[in-house]
């Protein structure tokens, strides 16, 4: 009777589940990724329709919002026309009418949960209410990293084993009735047999488990993430999705036993109207198509301006005078404006963008620390370790986080002493916010004067090589310098500027740091790179590879705090005597640029008045980073929409409103496209991942984002939930994404189309990103500036619809007036 | 002079609240400045007043404020009282709310419901001030009820999510038990002292002692009812588990309500009525015992909590338990200091709770030791595991509520499933006419019948409201049944000769008007939406916020919310139940509890929760 398809395969099902569940790591390792990664096997348009029908996600904006944008000009008519004509060449009129005027019925209910809704429909039993609270609390207590005082007993065992041990105490049980207890202790309690009891027919097993796990996707996702990456928790646990499901099935059986006694028919017997199978094909409705065309028109209304701007932008004088200094910053969109201000303040300086781990991948171990921290993109597995020592005090204590306040007698004492003092603490925190031991401060990541073990002496620790050999150093320095095209015209001082962020009262602090350093500040990487590039033997090796760094050139590491707009330079004592004066001057340039940057950022914060002196605005920006009551210390990647891979002269005199990732690349240094290959291999998943996480957290902040962060409650130090009985909330909180515009990333590459096509085809995964259009790709010819758009298979010429792009008249004034997104503008050459 | 000035402390929050209702919803600045201004003014006036009061040698102050209703043998008046307990609660309350208001001013920026949040905060403050300044039970009860409602509204602040609404209803139910405790205490004390006794008079040792000596049982009954209310409000056993579940609103509101102010009001009630029960050794022992048990159990539960807010909640409940012990032991000053410390500490801990991740993870990086043992690790393993599991399951406190209170009610209601609207109406008409008839000839009924007849009527009323509480389909029927319950109670009371028609009319007029308004709302909603049932949360406030608001007002009227005619009526009704009619009093009290639950259930099911028609806009149920 059953076809092969209906045979239930536990392994296969668990694998599939782990694939579809949210893949967010514990909070301390928050790393941006495409929220709908599980649908990436489909082209973007199909994928989002499918995701929406299956799981009820909102994947696009409301129809009314698009129409509103159209009326107020944010979606341009000519772009809309172009989109509809391309998608529906034969029926333009029909579709444009539908888009503008037709009324649509709301979409039908999503498929997820329909099968398990049978408990309520046919049995009048709300088993979730009986099962979930204890289930969540058990998982949370087991995984807890340090909130509870009395830890889960038997934490060294795997989850289900620990549960079983506890159950054996014989007095207090997890269960209400005897049967589930018996099953747990004596079996059979494998998934198959338990489902047999609960569901009956095998053909529904997979769907049942999906329904069940998606009723608490946050917890299940966390379990799957920990199972896959146990090192994500410092205090490691052994848990798997399978154990969670078995425990949950037992609790469900127990709940039903409690309600109906030991005899009740399995779900499939009572199923009167079988629900649609979860993974049946999905057909796009008219509304889906209409919405998607609106989205494309929305995207291209912006892209078109950018592309026109890039074409019309006049490169600054090609042969620059002697460079005063050069700075390598992260490709991060947040550094986009800082680079502009550096160049404005000192027109003789030159800036570059590259992923903020500066090509040096390693684990880092702070002095006296008990754990290593990965400082490179998440998928990379480093073989090196950098140790810090001689650092001075590592961390401060705060009695208010002491757990003694929660116990009986010491709590009694503490409330009457510290308790009274906390009124004063609160008072100070509200009227004079300042740094406390609980603030997440970027500069604390590494003590300024810590000694780092950068050079290898053959020592091994934790199976990692401590430090790098000369050859390894040279390889890394060469790769970075060549990929950004910095192989000649070295300035006397070259700054390697990592970035990090600071915030108070913010469980998502890791999401604010550098994504290329696995959600940590980039200070160690900057120092390590600078040290390597200053190394005389390394330079000798580099010389043989065609990079001649003059002896007078010195590299210096630094960290830019993107929240506070402050900078900290490292190893200033090692500066050659002749350069200290220069460095001092450049330091002033940085300080000025940072202040201007803070002012530009401030326009997005409604609570800061913009008609103030810049230093006062900057002070308020800094204050946000330490204020307990500030849910928006900074806005991170909000509004990101483009990534430009090319020389700085392509973007130097165009205003992109901090919306662009900027990765330096010089086609002239890279005849084969090898460096471009490496850049795109990183840009697509990293920038694309950030972009899509913002995208989906914005369109569906309830199901794909974390919702408003104001009621969040920290669970076990690894996640947040609303209230105490809620599901974990992965994704980004509303406060991070509210000003975001959900546009897919447009990658612009300054290179001829033929090479780009050949380069993206080299790697299957990179190709898929572009082929399935999860990110857009356009290349701009370095000489002719002709544009070609990648339609998923081939490049086709693109001519912008926008006329001439306006020149920004008085940018600084505009920035103190307008709080919303600004259009693309050309920068007045005279201002530079 | 000191007396008259007292009213200011109620007028400031009242005015602040009134202004906050009419302010423009878009203007964040004026909303929050008004709130900050109100609380600061309250704080400054409080400081000045307390200074003068201290200078004058801490006199105990009593001020009879307004007489709201008066008839022969019954006087309903607001009375204000000021002593050192009030002073401490005033200063701490005003200081904390000032700080938290300023905190929320930034924290709540751009949050949908910004105005609603500050409105509710004002409302809460008003209730708090009325409670702590109250000079008699009636006044205290008004504040008490306002606090309950404000809590409900703040827990359900995120009203389009499932869990906040569910938990708000849960907390409201427990508060309702406490409310009825006070009503019953009031009822008995009317009989005990033959007046609406002021707290000042309670300090008259001779008077109190004299009365209590003659009526030991009555005295114990009153004290127990007060203890019940206090336990419910202060999350003492067996009610403790509501406290962590109340942490659903924005963090600052959780901090001020459940971390500090609201949760200490049960303690306030015990201190305020201390003169009444200080000579009842059994009550003092029971209070201390309850406090001690709470302290022990809640400490155990706090130790296993793995979420930061629930840990703080249980730790706080444990400290409050100790405060109950202190009060029972007669150490008021210590209890007041303890209260101050706990209020500040928990507020601060909750406000900084999100920092716990960055702080503890950092600490862990440097100080981690595998397999750290806490003190419990030294227990025999079997005992350790059993205790751990017991604490993890919160000593079944949450499920017991369902099992022994909620579910039996549901079961009882389900036995009445055969009733539909028509049958109910027919039965009502016949039985009620019968009741009226009996009333007409009550004087000729034999004594036993005169005693039991009202009990029977009250019982029918109880059945009505039970049916209402468990009705799954027809909202209008459920609503109507609640109103009918009131008429049954009125009828039952009418058998007691001293009740005047005027008083009954006053009571029922409130019910009738509220019923009509509520009914109209439901009708309108049915016209708009097709069906209105009570099977699940519908979240209609998403689409029809205005109807939701009007209906909420009708609910308040129907539930006897303070100052509505129903409220005074209810109070009146109780004064007419004789002290030898415990059955009547018990049934009526039970009716009123379920009545409140039924009403809030109708409101929550229809107007709160995820909007049923916008599946794609709403979060999953557990979110």
The partner residue sitting opposite A710, judged by closest CB among B251, B296, B368, is B251
Question: pLDDT confidence of A521, banded at 50, 70, 90?
Answer: very high
Inside any domain, residue B590: yes
Region of poorest pLDDT, from A305-314, A563-572, B353-362, B370-379: B370-379
Inside any domain, residue A482: yes
Regarding whether B421 and B324 lie in a shared domain, the answer is no
Q: What pLDDT is stored for residue A316 in this prediction?
A: 63
In this predicted structure, the answer to whether residue A3 has a pLDDT above a threshold of 50 is no
What is the mean predicted confidence (pLDDT) over B19-46? 91
Q: pLDDT for A732-772, tens place per residue?
A: 999 999 999 999 999 999 999 999 999 999 999 999 999 99
Inside any domain, residue A555: yes
Regarding whether A418 and A331 lie in a shared domain, the answer is no
Q: Give A407's contacts in chain B (Cβ within 8 Å).
A: 299, 302-303, 315
Q: Among B246, B267, B269, which residue's Cα sits nearest to residue B256?
A: B246
Q: Which residues pair with B64 in a beta bridge?
A: B79
Q: Give A435's contacts in chain B (Cβ within 8 Å).
A: none
Q: Give A727's contacts in chain B (Cβ within 8 Å).
A: 620, 622-623
Q: pLDDT for A322-366, tens place per residue?
A: 889 999 999 999 999 999 999 999 999 999 999 999 999 999 999
Q: Among B314, B282, B245, B270, which residue's Cα sits nearest to residue B85?
A: B270
Measured N-to-C along each axis, helices A159-167 and A127-143 cross at an angle, to the nearest 10 degrees, of 110
CA B3, chain centre distance (Å): 28
Q: Among A62, A99, A94, which residue's Cα sits nearest to residue A77?
A: A99
Inside any domain, residue A784: yes
Regarding whether B208 and B115 lie in a shared domain, the answer is yes
Question: pLDDT confidence of A832, banded at 50, 70, 90?
Answer: very low
Q: What pLDDT is stored for residue B580 in this prediction?
A: 80
Put simply, the chain A residues between 323 and 342 with a CB less than 8 A from any chain B CB are none
Put simply, the chain B residues between 308 and 337 with a CB less than 8 A from any chain A CB are 308-315, 318-319, 322, 337
Inside any domain, residue A410: yes
Q: Which domain holds residue A347?
A: 325-360+469-634
Report yes or no: A24 and A205 within 8 Å, Cβ to Cβ.
no
Burial class (CB in 10 A: 0-12, 13-18, 19+), B412: middle
Q: What pLDDT is stored for residue B460 in this prediction?
A: 87
Question: pLDDT confidence of B563, banded at 50, 70, 90?
Answer: low
Regarding whether A767 and A705 lie in a shared domain, the answer is yes
Regarding whether B70 and B213 lie in a shared domain, the answer is yes
Q: What are the residue ranges of helices labelled H in A261-358?
A: 267-270, 286-312, 336-345
Residue B559 Cα, gap to closest chain A Cα (Å):
28
Regarding whether A676 and A774 lie in a shared domain, the answer is yes
What is the mean predicted confidence (pLDDT) over B332-356? 92
Distances (CA, A) of B427 to B421, B433, B442, B449: 10, 10, 21, 21
Pairing of the two strands A795-798 and A787-790: antiparallel
Regarding whether A784 and A669 lie in a shared domain, the answer is yes
Q: Which residues pair with A567 in a beta bridge?
A: A560
Instruction: State the DSSP string of B215-231.
Output: -HHHHHHHHHHHHHHHH
The partner residue sitting opposite B358, judged by closest CB among A56, A151, A509, is A509
The partner residue sitting opposite B355, judged by closest CB among A147, A215, A438, is A438
Q: Which residues pair with B307 in a beta bridge?
A: A715
* A359 vs B320: CA distance, rounded Å: 56
Inter-chain touch B366–A369, beta carbons under 8 Å? yes
Residue A637 Cα, gap to closest chain B Cα (Å):
19
Regarding whether B425 and B321 lie in a shared domain, the answer is no
B378 to chain A, any CB pair closer than 8 A? The answer is: no
* Average pLDDT of chain B, as a whole number: 88
H, E, C per residue of B84-98: HHHHHHHHHHHHHHH
Report yes or no: B317 and B243 within 8 Å, Cβ to Cβ.
yes
What is the mean predicted confidence (pLDDT) over A239-268? 94
Report yes or no: A280 and A259 within 8 Å, Cβ to Cβ.
no
Regarding whether A592 and A523 lie in a shared domain, the answer is yes
Burial class (CB in 10 A: 0-12, 13-18, 19+), A4: exposed
* B481 vs B475: CA distance, rounded Å: 10
Q: Give A729's contacts in chain B (Cβ within 8 Å).
A: 623
Domain count, chain B: 2
Regarding whether A790 and A697 lie in a shared domain, the answer is yes
Q: Among B88, B245, B105, B107, which residue's Cα sits nearest to residue B172?
A: B245
Chains A and B form CB pairs within 8 A to the count of: 333
Pairing of the two strands A642-646 and A660-664: parallel
Inter-chain touch A717–B357, beta carbons under 8 Å? yes
Burial class (CB in 10 A: 0-12, 13-18, 19+), B470: buried
A413 to chain B, any CB pair closer than 8 A? The answer is: no
Q: What pLDDT is stored for residue A180 in this prediction?
A: 94
In this predicted structure, the answer to whether residue A83 has a pLDDT above a threshold of 80 is yes
The partner residue sitting opposite A422, judged by closest CB among B105, B344, B356, is B344
Q: Among B611, B609, B613, B571, which residue's Cα sits nearest to residue B592?
A: B571
Inside any domain, residue B371: no
Residue A67 neighbours by CB distance under 10 Å: 15
Inside any domain, residue A674: yes
Q: Give A764's contacts (C-beta < 8 A, 6+ positions apart).
A: none
Inter-chain touch B307–A147, beta carbons under 8 Å? yes
Inside any domain, residue A18: no
Q: At which of B353, B377, B402 does a domain end?
A: B353
Region of poorest pLDDT, from A253-257, A280-284, A794-798, B608-612: B608-612
Regarding whether A195 and A125 lie in a shared domain, the answer is yes
Q: Give B392's contacts in chain A (Cβ within 8 Å).
A: 134, 137-138, 141
Q: Give B560's contacts (C-beta < 8 A, 6+ positions apart).
A: B510, B566, B567, B569, B570, B592
Max intra-chain CA distance, chain B? 86
DSSP 8-state class, residue A249: H
Q: Give A394's contacts in chain B (Cβ within 8 Å).
A: 366
Q: Give B158's contacts in chain A (Cβ within 8 Å).
A: 708, 711, 722
Put simply, the chain B residues between 78 and 97 with a CB less than 8 A from any chain A CB are 95-96
Tell me: cis bond preceding B238? Omega within 30 of 0 counts: yes
Q: What pLDDT is stored for residue B521 in this prediction?
A: 94
Q: Give A138's contacts in chain B (Cβ within 8 Å).
A: 392
A706 vs A7, residue with greater confidence: A706
Paired tokens of A362: 């390693």
Inside any domain, residue A545: yes
Question: pLDDT confidence of B214, banded at 50, 70, 90?
Answer: confident
Measured N-to-C along each axis, helices B265-272 and B137-155 cross at an angle, to the nearest 10 degrees, of 170
H, E, C per residue of A471-495: HHHHHHHHHHHHHHCCCCCCCCEEE
Question: pLDDT confidence of A6, banded at 50, 70, 90?
Answer: low
Give the whole-number percent of chain A exceeding pLDDT 90: 79
Q: At which of B353, B379, B401 does a domain end?
A: B353
Length of chain B: 623
Domain count, chain A: 4
* A514 vs A377: CA distance, rounded Å: 9
Residue B550 Cα, gap to closest chain A Cα (Å):
27
Q: Among A804, A498, A375, A819, which residue's Cα sits nearest to residue A635?
A: A819
Paired tokens of A290: 């209409």
Q: Which residue has the tokens 């990101």?
A: A640
What counts of helices (H) and strands (E) characterise chain A? Answer: 29, 22
Regarding whether A657 and A564 lie in a shared domain, the answer is no
Q: At which of B306, B323, B353 does a domain end?
A: B353
Inter-chain touch B615–A109, beta carbons under 8 Å? yes
* A71 vs A60: CA distance, rounded Å: 18
B296 to chain A, any CB pair closer than 8 A? The answer is: yes
Regarding whether B219 and B87 lie in a shared domain, the answer is yes
Regarding whether A689 and A591 lie in a shared domain, the answer is no
B29 to chain A, any CB pair closer than 8 A? The answer is: no
Inside any domain, residue A561: yes
Regarding whether B580 and B483 lie in a shared domain, the answer is yes
Inter-chain touch A149–B344, beta carbons under 8 Å? no
Q: Which domain holds residue B505?
A: 415-617
**What per-residue string of b and e applies to A707-719 under the rule 16 or more CB within 10 Å gives b?**
bbbbbbbbbbbbb
A416 to chain B, any CB pair closer than 8 A? The answer is: yes
H, E, C per residue of B524-541: HHHHHHCCCCCCCCCCHH
Closest alpha carbon within chain B to A405: B315
The partner residue sitting opposite A415, judged by closest CB among B299, B341, B354, is B341
Q: Which residue has the tokens 């950068």?
A: A454
Q: What pLDDT is stored for residue B219 in this prediction?
A: 87
In this predicted structure, the answer to whether residue A1 has a pLDDT above a threshold of 50 is no
In this predicted structure, the answer to whether residue B56 has a pLDDT above a threshold of 60 is yes
In this predicted structure, the answer to whether residue B94 has a pLDDT above a threshold of 90 is yes
Q: What pLDDT is stored for residue A169 in this prediction?
A: 82
Inter-chain touch A174–B389, beta carbons under 8 Å? yes
Regarding whether A688 and A583 lie in a shared domain, the answer is no
The partner residue sitting opposite B99, judged by closest CB among A171, A430, A712, is A430
Paired tokens of B377: 């690790």
In this predicted structure, the answer to whether residue A5 has a pLDDT above a threshold of 70 is no
Regarding whether A335 and A245 lie in a shared domain, the answer is no
Q: pLDDT for B300-324, tens place per residue?
A: 999 999 999 999 999 999 999 999 9
Distances (CA, A) of B392 to A141, A161, A356, B320, B589: 8, 17, 44, 21, 34
Give the whole-number percent of chain A exceeding pLDDT 70: 97
Distances (CA, A) of B490 to B449, B476, B477, B486: 18, 22, 20, 6
B623 to chain A, any CB pair closer than 8 A? The answer is: yes
Strand, helix or coil at A196?
Answer: helix
Inside any domain, residue B583: yes
Q: pLDDT for B394-448, tens place per residue?
A: 999 888 877 787 788 888 888 887 877 788 888 888 888 888 888 777 777 788 8
Inside any domain, residue B435: yes
User: Which of B240, B242, B307 should one mutate to test binding to chain A, selecting the residue with the greatest count of A CBs within 10 A?
Assistant: B307
* A524 vs A369: CA distance, rounded Å: 15
Question: pLDDT confidence of B457, banded at 50, 70, 90?
Answer: confident
pTM: 0.94
Q: Give B251's contacts in chain A (Cβ within 8 Å).
A: 710-712
Regarding whether A627 and A656 lie in a shared domain, the answer is no
Q: At which of A407, A431, A455 does a domain end?
A: A431
Inside any domain, residue B396: no
Closest alpha carbon within chain A to B309: A713
Regarding whether B428 and B330 lie in a shared domain, the answer is no
Residue B7 Cα, gap to closest chain A Cα (Å):
27
Q: pLDDT for A457-505, tens place per residue?
A: 889 988 999 999 999 999 999 999 999 999 999 999 999 999 999 999 9
Inside any domain, residue B394: no
């Amino acid at each position: 009777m059953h076809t092969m398809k209906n045979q239930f395969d536990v392994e296969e099902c668990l694998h599939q589940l782990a694939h579809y569940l949210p893949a967010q790591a514990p909070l301390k390792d928050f790393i941006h990724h495409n929220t709908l990664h599980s649908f990436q096997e489909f082209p973007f348009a199909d994928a989002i329709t499918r995701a929406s029908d299956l799981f009820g996600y909102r994947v696009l904006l409301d129809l009314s919002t698009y129409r509103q944008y159209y009326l107020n000009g944010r979606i341009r008519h000519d772009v809309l026309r172009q989109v509809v004509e391309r998608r529906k060449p034969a029926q333009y009129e029909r579709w444009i009418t539908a888009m503008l005027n037709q009324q649509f019925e709301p979409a039908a209910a999503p498929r997820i949960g329909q099968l398990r809704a049978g408990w309520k429909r046919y049995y009048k039993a709300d088993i979730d209410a009986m099962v979930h609270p204890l289930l969540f609390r058990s998982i949370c207590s087991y995984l807890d990293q340090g909130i509870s005082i009395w830890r889960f007993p038997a934490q060294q065992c795997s989850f289900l084993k620990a549960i079983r041990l506890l159950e054996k105490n014989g007095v207090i049980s997890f269960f209400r009735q005897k049967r589930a207890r018996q099953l747990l202790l004596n079996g059979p309690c494998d998934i198959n047999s338990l489902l047999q009891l609960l569901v009956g027919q095998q053909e529904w097993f997979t769907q049942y488990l999906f329904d069940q796990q998606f009723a608490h996707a946050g917890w299940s996702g966390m379990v799957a993430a920990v199972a896959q990456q146990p090192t994500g928790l410092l205090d490691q646990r052994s848990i798997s999705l399978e154990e969670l499901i078995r425990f949950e099935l037992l609790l469900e059986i127990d709940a039903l036993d409690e309600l109906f006694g030991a005899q009740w028919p399995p779900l499939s017997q009572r199923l009167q109207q079988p629900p649609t199978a979860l993974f049946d094909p999905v057909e796009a409705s008219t509304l889906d198509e209409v919405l998607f065309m609106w989205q494309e028109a929305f995207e291209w209304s912006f892209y078109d301006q950018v592309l026109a701007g890039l074409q019309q932008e006049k490169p600054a004088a090609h042969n620059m005078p002697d460079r005063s200094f050069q700075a390598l910053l992260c490709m991060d969109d947040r550094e986009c404006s800082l680079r502009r201000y550096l160049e404005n303040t000192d027109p003789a300086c030159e800036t570059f963008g590259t992923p903020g781990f500066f090509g040096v991948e390693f684990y880092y171990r702070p002095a006296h620390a008990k754990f290593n921290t990965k400082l490179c993109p998440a998928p990379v597995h480093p073989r090196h370790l950098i140790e810090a020592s001689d650092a001075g005090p590592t961390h401060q204590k705060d009695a208010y986080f002491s757990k003694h306040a929660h116990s009986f007698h010491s709590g009694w004492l503490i409330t009457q002493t510290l308790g009274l003092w906390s009124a004063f603490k609160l008072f100070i925190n509200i009227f004079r916010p300042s740094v406390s031991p609980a603030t997440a401060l970027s500069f604390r990541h590494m003590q300024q004067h810590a000694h780092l073990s950068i050079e290898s002496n053959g020592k091994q620790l934790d199976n990692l090589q401590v430090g790098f050999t000369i050859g390894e150093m040279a390889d890394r320095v060469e790769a970075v310098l060549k990929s950004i095209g910095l192989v000649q015209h070295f300035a006397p001082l070259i700054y390697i500027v990592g970035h990090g962020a600071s915030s108070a009262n913010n469980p998502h602090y890791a999401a604010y740091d550098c994504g290329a350093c696995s959600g940590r500040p980039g200070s160690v990487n900057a120092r390590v790179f600078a040290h390597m590039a200053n190394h005389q033997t390394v330079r000798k090796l580099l010389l043989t590879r065609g990079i001649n760094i003059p002896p007078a050139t010195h590299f210096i590491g630094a960290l830019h705090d993107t929240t506070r707009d402050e900078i900290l330079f490292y190893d200033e004592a090692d500066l050659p005597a002749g350069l200290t004066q220069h460095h001092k001057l450049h330091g002033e340039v940085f300080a000025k640029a940072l202040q201007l940057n803070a002012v530009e950022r401030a326009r997005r914060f409604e609570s800061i008045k913009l008609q103030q002196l810049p230093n006062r605005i900057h002070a308020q920006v800094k204050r946000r980073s330490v204020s307990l009551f500030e849910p928006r210390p900074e806005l991170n990647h909000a509004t990101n929409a483009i990534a430009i891979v090319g020389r700085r002269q392509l973007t130097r005199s165009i205003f992109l409103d901090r919306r662009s990732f900027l990765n330096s690349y010089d086609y002239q240094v890279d005849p084969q496209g090898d460096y471009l290959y490496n850049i795109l291999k990183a840009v697509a998943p990293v920038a694309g991942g950030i972009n899509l996480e913002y995208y989906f957290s914005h369109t569906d902040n309830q199901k794909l984002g974390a919702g408003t962060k104001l009621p969040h409650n920290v669970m076990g130090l690894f996640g947040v939930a609303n209230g105490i009985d809620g599901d974990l909330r992965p994704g980004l909180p509303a406060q991070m994404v509210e000003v975001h515009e959900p546009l897919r990333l447009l990658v612009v590459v300054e290179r001829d189309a033929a090479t780009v096509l050949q380069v993206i085809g080299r790697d299957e995964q990179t190709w898929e990103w572009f082929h399935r259009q999860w990110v857009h790709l356009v290349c701009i010819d370095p000489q002719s500036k002709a544009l070609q758009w990648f339609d998923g298979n081939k490049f086709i010429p693109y001519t912008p619809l926008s006329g001439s792009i306006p020149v920004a008249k008085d940018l600084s004034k505009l920035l103190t007036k307008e709080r919303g997104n600004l259009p693309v503008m050309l920068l007045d050459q005279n201002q530079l | 002079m000191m007396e008259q000035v007292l009213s200011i402390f109620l007028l400031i929050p009242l005015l602040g609240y009134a202004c906050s209702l009419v302010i423009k919803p878009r203007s964040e600045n004026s909303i929050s400045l008004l709130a900050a201004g109100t609380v600061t003014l309250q704080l400054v006036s409080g400081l000045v007043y307390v200074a003068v009061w201290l200078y004058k040698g801490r006199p105990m102050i009593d001020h009879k404020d307004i007489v709201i209703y008066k008839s022969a043998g019954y006087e309903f008046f607001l009375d204000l009282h000021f002593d050192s307990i009030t002073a401490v609660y005033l200063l701490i309350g005003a200081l904390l709310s000032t700080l938290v208001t300023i905190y929320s001013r930034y924290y709540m920026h751009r949050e949908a419901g910004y105005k609603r949040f500050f409105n509710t905060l004002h409302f809460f403050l008003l209730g708090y001030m009325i409670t702590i300044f109250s000079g008699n039970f009636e006044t205290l009860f008004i504040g008490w009820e306002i606090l309950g409602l404000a809590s409900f509204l703040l827990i359900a602040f995120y009203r389009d999510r499932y869990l906040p609404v569910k938990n708000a209803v849960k907390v409201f139910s427990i508060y309702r038990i406490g409310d009825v405790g006070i009503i019953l205490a009031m009822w008995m004390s009317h009989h005990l002292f033959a007046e609406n006794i002021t707290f000042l008079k309670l300090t008259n040792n001779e008077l109190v002692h004299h009365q209590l000596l003659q009526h030991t049982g009555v005295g114990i009954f009153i004290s127990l009812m007060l203890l019940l209310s206090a336990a419910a409000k202060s999350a003492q056993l067996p009610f403790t588990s509501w406290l962590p579940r109340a942490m659903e609103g924005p963090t600052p509101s959780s901090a001020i309500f459940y971390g500090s102010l609201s949760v200490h009001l049960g303690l306030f009630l015990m201190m305020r009525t201390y003169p009444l029960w200080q000579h009842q050794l059994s009550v003092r022992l029971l209070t201390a015992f309850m406090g001690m048990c709470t302290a022990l159990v809640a400490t155990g539960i706090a130790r296993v909590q793995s979420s930061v807010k629930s840990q703080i909640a249980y730790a706080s409940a444990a400290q409050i338990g100790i405060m109950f012990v202190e009060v029972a032991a007669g150490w008021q000053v210590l209890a007041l200091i303890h209260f101050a410390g706990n209020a500040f500490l928990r507020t601060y801990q909750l406000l900084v709770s999100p920092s716990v991740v960055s702080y503890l993870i950092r600490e862990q990086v440097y100080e981690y030791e595998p397999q750290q043992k806490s003190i419990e690790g030294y227990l025999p393993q079997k005992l350790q595991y059993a205790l751990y599991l017991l604490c993890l399951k919160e000593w079944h406190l949450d499920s017991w509520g369902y099992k022994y209170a909620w579910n039996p009610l549901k079961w009882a209601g389900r036995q009445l499933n055969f009733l539909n609207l028509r049958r109910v109406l027919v039965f009502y008409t016949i039985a009620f006419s019968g009741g009226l008839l009996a009333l007409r000839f009550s004087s000729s009924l034999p004594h036993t019948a005169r005693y039991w007849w009202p009990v029977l009527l009250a019982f029918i009323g109880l059945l009505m409201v039970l049916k209402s509480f468990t009705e799954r389909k027809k909202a209008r029927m459920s609503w109507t049944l609640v109103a009918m319950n009131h008429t049954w109670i009125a009828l039952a009371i009418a058998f007691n000769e001293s009740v005047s028609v005027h008083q009954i009319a006053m009571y029922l007029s409130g019910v009738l008007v509220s019923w009509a308004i509520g009914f109209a709302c439901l009708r309108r909603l049915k016209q708009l939406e097709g069906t209105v049932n009570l099977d699940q949360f519908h979240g209609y406030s998403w689409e029809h916020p205005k109807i939701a608001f009007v209906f909420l007002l009708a609910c308040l009227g129907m539930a006897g919310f303070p100052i509505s005619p129903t409220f005074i009526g209810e109070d009146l009704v109780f004064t007419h139940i004789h002290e030898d009619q415990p059955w009547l009093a018990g049934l009526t009290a039970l009716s009123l509890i379920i009545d409140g639950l039924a009403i809030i259930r109708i409101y929550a099911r229809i107007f709160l929760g995820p909007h049923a028609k916008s599946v794609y806009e709403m979060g999953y149920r557990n979110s």
